[in-house]
Amino acid sequence: MGLHKDRIVLAYSGGLDTSVAIGWIQEQTGREVVAVAVDVGQGGEDLEVIRQRALDCGAVEAYIADARDEFAEEYCMPALKANALYEGKYPLVSALSRPVITKHLVRAARQFGATTVAHGCTGKGNDQVRFEVSITSMAPDLDCIAPVRDLALTRDVAIDYAERHSLPIETTKHNPFSIDQNVWGRAIETGYLEDIWNAPTKDVYTYTDDPTYPPLPDEVVISFKEGLPVAIDGRPVTPLEAIQELNRRAGAQGIGRIDMVEDRLVGIKSREIYEAPGAIALITAHAELESVTLERELHRYKRTMEQRWSELVYEAQWFSPLKKGMDTFIDYTQQYVTGDIRMTLHGGRAVVTGRRSETSLYDFNLATYESGDTFDQSHSRGFIEIYGLTSKLAAARDVRFGRGIDFGTGDLSLEN
């Protein structure tokens, strides 16, 4: 038959909702479904098991991709170089994974002759926007559908459908939370967490141990080259290995737990719990090395850009012209971000205790107050005169027009 122009590519996780979606889409649209599963370090079942389940649930093809290294190198590392924390807290766990998953969805659509891509997102979250904007940014000709949003595939319908069709998927176990995880971190929402007065319970967490009762402090040295982690305690690592090792070590100390109410792209506020031990440890170390190696004005400007970069990625603009331009700037800033950061991981905190870099702008002889000081303090008087001149002139004008600072009229004399 050749290419099937009526095929739909489905982002497939192996869980209940997307397993049911295979048959549901076929019934509702009369079109064949190609299941696409992408491993971004989420753990869980073997990819081959997921592939076979997709076929058993009615998929005509199953596309499986191990994208862990790709995700770490091409998505997590740009976020690290940008010290990306949405609203100052969230390291973009889910937002970073959507573009790489989408890339494989589009690749599968081209390979199997599909004209439509489907995803399992609801109609009130950020991810529907991320998937669909990413898809059309790479392949403007593709259509997008969401079975939950567009084809009325609610959870109770999914459970009933799975039982009636005897699908090879567990339907009785109900997790009260909505969870998305990958190697960069873990996101947990819904359930009792929707009441923002409720504290998270211990069963929420998987990537991190309770920081209240930590093991002994763990000292780690992270080596960077041009902004990227290249060694841990002197042992060479790939970006994926760096994230994985720090997930283990920082996670054991309870580092990277985040409880926040964030502003979603669709206009609502949402309570989210995140765990990102490796990401938080790496961002902490990287930002500290930049403090040593970036020139002052470059450093200041990059900090303001980091916030906007994080917002763009959170808001589905990974492929936007502005974000691409920012990437070019950020890459330029990293040419001297090379050196070692020593940190102590303990009790929920990653504390920097040492910095070392051959490209450092820190000059001990200029900074010291001891003998050997090379800073010529005689220059400071003239510098202050010139630096403060505009403020001095403005203050004199205020006094001249009666707008000077009022120091009050009380008796300021000292009493015996």
The catalytic residues are: 17, 98, 127, 178
Contact predicate 69/240, CB 8 Å = yes
Number of C-beta neighbours around residue 413 at 10 A: 5
CA distance 253 to 210: 7
**Pairwise CA distance, residues 259 & 351, whole Å:** 20
The torsion defined by the Cα of 227, 230, 231 and 237, in degrees rounded to 10, comes to: 140
**Residues written for the chain:** 416
The answer to whether the Cα torsion of 117, 122, 123, 129 is positive or negative is negative
β-bridge mates for residue 258, sequence order: 274
Q: Which long-range contacts (CB under 8 A, 24 or more apart) does 368-375 make?
A: none
Cα–Cα distance measured from residue 151 to residue 167, given in angstroms and rounded to the nearest whole number: 19
* Pairwise CA distance, residues 22 & 168, whole Å: 13
Nearest C-alpha neighbor of 94 from the set 131, 123, 51, 66:
131
Residue 130: CB atoms within 10 Å:
27
Give the end-to-end CA distance of the chain in Å, rounded to a whole number: 105
β-pairing, 339-346 with 349-356? antiparallel
The phi-psi region of residue 226 (left if phi > 0; otherwise alpha if psi is between -120 and 50; otherwise beta) is left
**Encoded tokens for 11:** 């982002």
